[in-house]
Structures are given as C-alpha cells and as structure tokens.
Structure 1
Amino acid sequence: MREGFNSNRWTRRTAAVGGAALSALVLGQIALTGPVAAVPGLTYKTSTGPSNSAAKSQSAPCPTGTTVIGGGGAITGSGLGQVGMDIMRPLIGGDAYSVTGREDETGVAGNWAVTANAVCAPAPAGLVMVSGSSAPSFGTSNWFEKPCPAGKHAIGVGGAVVGASNSEVVLEDLRINQTSVVVAGAEDGTGFAGSWWLDATAICADPLPGEQRVINDSLYSSATTRSVVATCPSGRVHGVGGEILGGDGQVRLTEMRATTSTTVTVSAVEDEDGFSSNWKVRAYAVCAS
C-alpha cells in the first residue's frame, strides 16, 4: 500500500544543512531499571560479491537462530559517483540484509563490487518489521516516513528508490529516528522523466537496555568525497543509518555500515561532473549496552 508523499524539497533536511556540524551528539538515551546487558548473541556479518560492471545484489545472511536487526553496505571499485546503492533493506523473513548497486544511465567503464553488512541477533523483545511506500512522485526529490507501532523504537532501517531502470534516482537518506525511519531520494543531475517512489522498512522493537542514538556529521563544504564515523560511547552497535545533506542528487552514498562493533561509518562521493555546492554526510548509530 502506498502512503502519503512530499514531492517538494525536504525542507527539514535542507534547513539542517545550514546549521553547524554536529559532533557526536547522543540522542534518546533510555533509563531502565534492573540489570543492563547487551542483546545476547549479537553478531556482524559481511558478504562481498563479484567485481564487474553489471547491476547486482549482495546479501549478508544471519546465522541460524538469529535475525536481522540492522544493516548496511558499501560500494567499492571504479566510478563510485555513478554507482548507487539503490536498495538497502532486510529480506522478507529477516534472515539477511541485502544491498543492490546499479550504474547511472551513462554507465561505468571499470569494475565495482557490492558489500552487504548485517547486524544479527536472537530476536529482541517486541521485534517487528513494518514497511510502506510513498505515492509516485514526479518531483525532483521525495521523502517518506514509516513509524513503528506504538511503544516500540526503531533500531534498523531499510529503503529503496523504485521506478527507474538504472541509478537515475539517488537513495540519499536512511534515517533512524527514535520511533520511526525516514527514507529520502532525489533525481540525479540529469533528472528523470518518469515517476518514482520510495520504499521504507522500519525494524522496530521494545526499547533496548541502555539504548542511545548517536549522530555525527562530517564537515560541510564542497569536496569530492566525505566520510564520518558515529561511535557508541558505551555498548555496541545495534542499528545503522546514514544520510547526505545538501547533495541535490549529485552525491551518492558509497558506504553506510557498522565498521566495528562500536562504530558506524558513512561515506559519499560527488558524481562524475562534480558538485559546486556545499554538502555533508551524517552517520547514525543505535547503541545498546
């Protein structure tokens, strides 16, 4: 079922661009009584596919007895500004996290590979995955928010841009708020004549022990590449999110994943023509201890 949409520039996101860069801001800490312990059996799985110049998907499966509670991925190789991670989400059933990479309409001469990363654990209390889709958009950008059921917190996010046959629409944002996720996309620098929409998946659960949301921003300027790390002040990474601010479809995510048990790295690169305006990337880490 497709839900409401906003075909105008995401004003909340644009307004945030003008502000100063955040520095390891910790949001939404939960105070719980009783013993505090990490979600038992938490593991991080990585799977890298072949290096070539074809559109491809890669999945990182979770061990038997565990399920996906978060995930992300990366693109490595040639032509990174022309290759989009257009689909990043848990598979139906929650046994793996999948990432799909596609080249833009002009293609890339060199080879590139997709890496998928999954955060896996035995299902925490109240775990549920909820999904939705925006209405089709003919605008240059769009965003869609999917809330968790009442009383639950978002601990993981998945998203996709749908409608183009190649990466002419950029998946810019996979944001984890406390009780919802937000997915945003924008047409690339050459635009897209057809309609497109966004899919969003929120991985939700009861509040985790010692739960915190850590947000960190890169510098805000015009640079070919940007990267930033969000670090858990305590506990371990349970959920992963990231976004591009100010990219206007001319910057693509190349990495959004847990790079250690306590860090989330988000990186992006300008397209092949460069981008004269200022932009930055933001990393989200959902931590629990």
Structure 2
Amino acid sequence: MTEGESAWLAAAPWGINDRVRSRLAATAHEVAAEWNVELGEMIAAGRFSYIALAGDDAILKVVPVEDDEADHEADALAALAGDGAVRLLRHDRARRAMLIERARPGYDASGLSEYEAMRVASSAARKFWRPAARGRPFRWIGDLVPRWLDNAGDHYLVRQAKEIYATMRPADATLVHGDFHHHNLLSNGDRWVVIDPKPMVGEPEFDVPTLLWNPIGHQPTKDSVDRWIGAFADAGLDANLVRKWAIVRGTYQGLPLAQGETAETSPQLRVVRALL
C-alpha cells in the first residue's frame, strides 16, 4: 500500500481512517444511485475499502486510491470470469468502484480444519494461477519486492531477506493473488472462491506464504509451517522456493513491527524465524 498517515489507521483495528471512509462512502452512494442498486449496510470486515451490501446478491466495493496494490483487482476478477473467484458484475475504473457477486453462505476458510483449509486453498489457488504477462495490465513482483524490502527498515532479518532475494529470479508468467489466505477464501454454494486479490504477475510459490501466518490469531510453529509447505509441494510447487518467498515476504510484511508487537508475537516473523 502507498504509505500515508492521512489514509491509514496507525494501530489496530488498522484499515482506512474515518476521513477516507467518509469519502469512499460518498462515492459508493453516488455510484449505487447511478447503477440503480440498493445500498445496504457496510460490511465491517472490509477495513481497507468501503464495502457494502448491494441488494440481495451483490456487494458494492470502493477501493481507496491510496491502495495502489488493488489497482488491478477488477482486471483480475474480469479475467477469472467467476471461475474460482467472485464474479465482477460492473466496474467504474475512474471511481475505483466494483459491483461484485455476493458469495453465499460466505463463510471464510478460517473455520476449517488445517487439512481442509489446505485442500480448499490448493484447489482455489490452481484456478487462480493462470498465464498472464507483465504490463497487461498487471505489475511484475520483481519490480515491487525490492521496494517493499527497503521499506521494512534496517534490521538483521531484512539484510538476510535481501541476501536470499538476491539469489532468486522471479518468474513473470503467472497471475498471482498477492494476498492469498483463509479470510480471502469464501464458501459460495458448493465451492470456494477467492476475494480481494492484489493481483500481480509472478510465480505460484509467491502466493503461499500468507497462508502460513493466517488465520488471524494463529501462532505459527515450525511444524505448522512445514505442513503447509509440504501440502503445496505435494500439489507440484517448489518447496524450497516457497521457503525463500516465506522468508522474504514474512520479513517485509512483519517489519517494522506493529505497535505492541514483538518478534516473538508477530506471526510473519515467527514464520521467518522457523525457516532460518
């Protein structure tokens, strides 16, 4: 995300601040009126965008311009066309507004057993990972990761992560989700679909690490990390490459430490330390 204290809360529950939420709410009501959809209650779980019910079967989402990682969310949903993801129904690019299929019953994967979560995540990921080319319109992970590591600050883990990243040659042929975890996997009828992509072009192994430190409240252990990596290795991914991405991504997502957090309590850094 583009950093800016004017847009984001500096402490839990995180997400957009009241000023940005009010701005997005105004846009949502304007778009809903033009599209002739009934705007319902705001969904509290949507902390980084304005998300509200839109009639019985849809969701209206307005993404803040400050969230540049979500610039191509609608493009990814359009490319997937409802195959493994919620369906994009309508889109206003200028106002960053999307009308999206509502997943029903809409339970996320955090309530599943670890085994079931692995099975569901692996199946959903294989549908999402499809051929894509950088710049059409998605950005390449290799153009972004170095900046994210720089933003993580001066820490010995950052130095180690940079050394590991220097040995990597990220691919640029696969659409990746960018924020793939339990809370972005929803039940929809008899299947599971992904929501909230931060889409980029890269390689499948890039997407696995965020599962290792989720769901919210999970405290990863070496055993749990190894089980998740093993599950995706069994599905055909390169386990060593997943480990490298887990160290790199865990470092830049875990640092600088959030307020009240330590290296021992940060889920991301627990994964990193389990792998080093």
Question: TM-score normalized by structure 1?
Answer: 0.25
Larger Rg: 2
Bigger helix share? 2
Question: TM-score normalized by structure 2?
Answer: 0.25
Bigger RCO (CA 8 Å, 6+ sep): 1
Bigger strand share? 1
